[in-house]
Amino acid sequence: MRFKRHIELEHGLKQIDIAPLIDMVFQLLIFFMLTSSFIVQQGIRVNLPRAITSEITKQNQLQISISSENIIYLNERVVTIQELKDLLKNLDRKDIPVLIKADRKALLGRVVEVWDILREAGLSHINIATTQQ
């Protein structure tokens, strides 16, 4: 069964109207531009303390973050103190560097507690993240 539209195209329809196609492309472009601006990157907000004598490290390292609410994150995953102890004891390499990113408003006691857990697990390359002044 042949439709009339196919017959017209076969007999030499000379021109195809692309205005609706252009309209659709612009609508899709606007849609993706508007929706992409509302995507928020996930992350842990930590205001690092300032230090004059800080150094830049660019090694593959284990990252422990302590937020202003004293929540502990291990590589951006929330962990408790006991989970942190268990995960650190099961590490294969004990020479891996560790970076502690503690918020300015985090309790010093929580930072020291995490530091003690790291030392107890046998990790000796421990750094504290700061921002350069």
Report the 3 state secondary structure along 59-117.
Answer: CCCEEEEECCCCCEEECCEEECHHHHHHHHHCCCCCCCCEEEEECCCCCHHHHHHHHHH
pLDDT digits 0-9 by tens, 17-62: 888 889 999 999 998 888 776 555 555 566 666 665 655 655 667 8
What is the architecture, at CATH level 2, of domain 50-132? 2-Layer Sandwich (3.30)
pLDDT number for residue 36: 74
pLDDT number for residue 42: 57
pLDDT digits 0-9 by tens, 5-26: 555 555 555 677 888 889 999 9
What percent of the chain shows pLDDT beyond 70?
70
Phi, psi of 113 (to 5 degrees): -65, -45
Average pLDDT over every residue of 96-110: 86
* Distance between CA atoms of residues 84 and 19, nearest Å: 60
Domain boundaries, the chain: 4-36, 50-132
pTM summary value:
0.56
Q: Torsion over CA of 29, 34, 35 and 40, rounded to 10 degrees?
A: 130
Q: Whole-number mean pLDDT of the chain?
A: 78
Here the tokens at position 37 are 């601006």
